[in-house]
């Protein structure tokens, strides 16, 4: 018998758009202090893949428990402690990072969500966050 291998659908690189932040919003964003990192959160889809409109509570839950974000800015002391970070910084501006669910200080500005997280909260860097969801 010849077996057909099941094709695995993998996301295309950069299939999740980087959060767009206008110049007006950028000028009003908080500047992370100390070891904090400013993260822009990707927007939650309004509908499921099947086209069903998500309830407001479902979208809120997805925003709150999101574990992946885009690094906008690092505080001046982020990753400076050589004892805690002997190999250097775990991420840089422009990286997509994975961090613990519900972590950080959440804020919304002009309909976009941002978080301030501690530098040691970053657990991984990913090239394409498309398939990254909380289990």
| Rounded Cα distance, 17 and 4, in Å | 34
Identify the H or E element spanning 24: helix 23-28
Residue 86 burial by Cβ neighbours in a 10 Å radius (0-12, 13-18, 19+): exposed
Residues forming beta bridges with residue 98, ordered by sequence position = 68, 124
Render 19-84 in DSSP notation, one character per residue: PP--HHHHHHSPPP-TTEEEEEPPPPPSB-TTSPBPPHHHHHHHHHH--EEEEEEE-TTTT--TTT
**Domains, the chain:** 23-126 (2.30.33.40)
Res 37 pLDDT > 80: yes
pLDDT at 95: 95
Identify the weakest region by mean pLDDT among 14-23, 29-38, 75-84, 104-113.
14-23
pLDDT at site 16: 56
- 71-82 per-position pLDDT tens digit: 999 999 999 999
Distance CA 47, CA 51 (A): 5
- Residue 87: pLDDT over 80: yes
User: Does pLDDT of 135 surpass 90?
Assistant: no
Answer whether 34's CB lies under 8 Å from 113's CB. Answer: no
What pLDDT was estimated at residue 54? 82
21: number of Cβ within 10 Å: 16
Q: Are 109 and 78 in contact (CB under 8 A)?
A: no
Residue 13's pLDDT band (cuts 50, 70, 90):
very low
Of 83, 70, 85, nearest to 18 by C-alpha is: 70
Helix (H, G, I), strand (E, B) or coil at 99: strand
């Amino acid at each position: 018998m010849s077996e057909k291998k099941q094709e695995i659908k993998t996301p295309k690189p950069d299939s999740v758009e980087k959060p767009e932040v206008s110049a007006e919003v950028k000028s009003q964003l908080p500047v992370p202090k100390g070891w904090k990192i400013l993260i822009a959160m990707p927007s939650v889809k309004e509908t499921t893949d099947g086209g069903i409109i998500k309830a407001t509570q479902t979208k809120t839950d997805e925003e709150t428990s999101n574990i992946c974000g885009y690094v906008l800015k690092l505080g001046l002391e982020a990753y400076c402690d050589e004892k805690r970070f002997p190999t250097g910084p775990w991420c840089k501006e422009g990286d997509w990072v994975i961090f613990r669910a519900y972590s950080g200080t959440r804020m919304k500005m002009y309909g976009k969500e941002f978080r301030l997280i501690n530098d040691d909260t970053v657990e991984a860097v990913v090239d394409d966050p498309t398939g990254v969801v909380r289990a």
